[in-house]
Amino acid sequence: MILINYLNDEIKQIKERFYQRIHHPYITKFLEDPVLDDDRLYILYTLLQEMKLSKDSVNDYVITTLLVQAALDTHEGVSTSHLDSDTGKKQRQLTVLAGDYYSSLYYFLLAKISDITMIRILADSIQEVNESKMSFYKKNHQDISRSIEDVKRIESSLIQKIAEHFKLQNWKTAVSEFFFFKRLIAERSMLLKGYQVPLIDAIVNEDDTSYISYKNDDRLKHSLELCDKYIDQSKRKLISLCEQPSTINSFIISRVDQLLLEIGFLKEKVAEEG
């Protein structure tokens, strides 16, 4: 319990430092702050803690990585549709500038501590994420296995590159699968709210080319069935990958169950089987 409380306090302090670092009165006047993924923060922190780095080094590496993620997420949210209003155009321009601002902060922090190696690692990861996004979102259809690999790189390349740098190879596969699992969970929730879901759409289109002709209710039902199938497969894979007892494996397995409970997935499965 003491260790858990200590980690919670440390992570809370890192979050506060992150939001203090990105605060810009003009940007916050028009745009919401980027949302931090607590799972990403915890995994990053735990990974770096395992290397017995100093507290300051852990904090600097976590915050710079979160800044890169914030820049990537912010740029992905830039609208590409035609805008007529000056307000909409201004907001789009500010969104681009906000992403650039977060990127400049990460360069500044790492340059300040003269960590050229980490700059190179994160730059390579940014390139990999952007290439995977271009591959995944291109109009012509690709094999679903390729789409899944693209999504895994998009969601976890930053952490994988850092794990690779610190020679923590055993982290890479489980972390990659976990964030793919989270992407499926997120898109399932978005699907039920009527939003676009590129990963689920890619899965459905690969599975059934006649999907487009389905009526709306049938289309939703079919999409949910396939999504749940991939969620279940991913969960089983994570259980297999996290068999060996460790801090990160225990965390991932506990979060998998929590996430499934949050969307009511476990209750639905019990009802189906009962």
- Say yes or no to pLDDT of 140 above 60: no
First CA to last CA distance, the chain: 37
Q: Which residue has the higher pLDDT, 257 or 98?
A: 257
Q: Where are the domains of the chain?
A: 1-114, 143-273
Identify the pLDDT of residue 3. 42
**What is the per-residue pLDDT across 150-199, written as a single tens digit (0 to 9) for each?**
999 999 999 999 999 988 888 889 999 999 999 999 999 999 998 889 99
Q: Is 10 helix (H, G, I), strand (E, B) or coil?
A: helix
Q: Could you give the CA distance from residue 45 to residue 59 in angstroms, rounded to a whole number?
A: 8
Identify the pLDDT of residue 37. 93
CA distances from 246 to 62, 118, 122, 211, 270 (A): 21, 26, 26, 43, 29
Name the pLDDT band for 218 (thresholds 50, 70, 90): confident
DSSP 226: H
> How is residue 241 written in tokens?
């990958």
Residues constituting the chain: 274
**What is the per-residue pLDDT across 50-104, written as a single tens digit (0 to 9) for each?**
888 888 889 999 999 999 999 998 888 665 555 566 566 677 788 888 888 888 9
| Half-sphere exposure for 137 (CA within 13 Å, toward CB) | 10
Q: Could you give the CA distance from residue 23 to residue 126 in angstroms, rounded to a whole number?
A: 23
For tokens 């965390």, name the residue.
251
Q: Do 37 and 68 form a contact (C-beta atoms < 8 A)?
A: no
Identify the pLDDT of residue 76. 80
Q: Do 131 and 156 form a contact (C-beta atoms < 8 A)?
A: no
DSSP 19: H
Stretch 135-151: mean pLDDT, rounded?
A: 83
Residue 51 class from Cβ within 10 Å (0-12 exposed, 13-18 middle, 19+ buried)?
middle
pTM value surpassing 0.85:
yes
Q: Which residue has the higher pLDDT, 96 or 230?
A: 230
Q: What radius of gyration, in Å, describes the C-alpha atoms of the chain?
A: 20
